[in-house]
Amino acid sequence: MTRRAAEVEPSAADLAAACRDDFPILESVVRGHPLVYLDNAATTQKPLAVIEAVETYYRSQNANIHRGVYALSQEATRLYEDARGKVARFLNAREAREIVFTRGATEAVNLVAQSFARPMLKSGDEILLTAMEHHSNIVPWQLAAEQTGARVRAVPMNDAGELLMDEFERMLSPRTRLVAAVHVSNSLGTVNPVREMVRAAKARGIPTLIDAAQSVQHFRVDVRELDCDFLVFSGHKLFGPTGIGALYARASLLEKMPPYQGGGDMISSVTFEKSEWNEVPWKFEAGTPNIAGAIGLGVAIDYVGRIGLDRIAAWERELMDYAMAKLAAIDGLRIVGTARERSGVISFVLEGIHPHDIGTILDADGIAIRTGHHCCQPVMDRFGIPATARCSMAFYNTKSEIDALADGIARVIRMFA
Q: Are residues 210 and 262 in the same domain?
A: yes
Q: Which of 305, 329, 360 is the last residue of a domain?
A: 305
Mean pLDDT is lowest, of 131-145, 198-212, 234-248, 271-285, for: 271-285
228 is catalytic: no
For the cut 60, the answer to whether the pLDDT of residue 107 exceeds it is yes
pLDDT for the residue numbered 7: 46
Position 2 confidence tier, pLDDT thresholds 50, 70, 90? very low
Least confident of 172-186, 209-223, 262-276, 381-395: 262-276
191 and 264 fall within a common domain: yes
pLDDT at 15 (0 to 100):
84
As beta bridge partners, residue 181 has 210
The last residue of a domain, from among 305, 329, 345: 305
Q: Do 69 and 163 belong to one domain?
A: yes
Angle, CA 290 vertex, CA 288 and CA 295 arms, to 5°: 125
Query: Number of structural domains, the chain?
Result: 2
In DSSP notation, 338-369 reads --SSB-SEEEEEETTB-HHHHHHHHHTTTEE-
Residue type present at position 414: R
pTM of the model: 0.94
Please report, for the domain that includes residue 405, its CATH number.
Answer: 3.90.1150.10
- Tens-place pLDDT, residues 78-95: 999 999 999 999 999 999
User: Alpha carbon of 115 to those of 75, 107, 111, 274: distances in Å?
Assistant: 31, 12, 6, 19
Assess whether 129 and 163 both reside in one domain.
yes
Residue 229 near residue 204 (C-beta atoms within 8 A): no
Mean pLDDT value across the chain: 95
17 and 165 share one domain: no
* Residue at 358: amino acid letter: I
CA-closest candidate to residue 140, choices 167, 103, 168, 115: 115
According to DSSP, the residues that pair with 35 across neighbouring strands are: none
Residues 31 and 85 in one domain: no
Closest by CA position to 67, among listed 296, 288, 294, 295? 288
Q: Which amino acid belongs to residue 4?
A: R
Same domain, 300 and 352: no
For residues 131-144, give the mean pLDDT.
98
- Residue at which a domain ends, from 278, 305, 332: 305
Q: Is 208 exposed, middle or buried (0-12, 13-18, 19+ CB in 10 A)?
A: buried
- What are the pLDDT digits (tens) for 234-274? 999 999 999 999 999 999 999 999 999 999 999 999 999 99
Is 346 found in the same domain as 272?
no
CATH of residue 275: 3.40.640.10
Catalytic residue among 228, 375, 376, 391: 375
Whether residue 119 is found in the same domain as residue 235? yes
Kindly state the average pLDDT of the residues 301-326.
Answer: 96
Facing residues of 29 across strands?
34
pLDDT tens digits, one per residue of 352-405: 999 999 999 999 999 999 998 999 999 999 999 999 999 999 999 999 999 999
Same domain, 254 and 337: no
Average pLDDT over residues 25-34: 96
**One domain for residues 350 and 399:** yes
Structural domain including 290 reads 51-305
The pLDDT assigned to 145 comes to 98
Phi, psi values for residue 37, rounded to 5°: -95, 110
Same-domain status, 80 and 227: yes
pLDDT value of position 18: 87
**CA 280 to centroid of chain Cα atoms:** 23
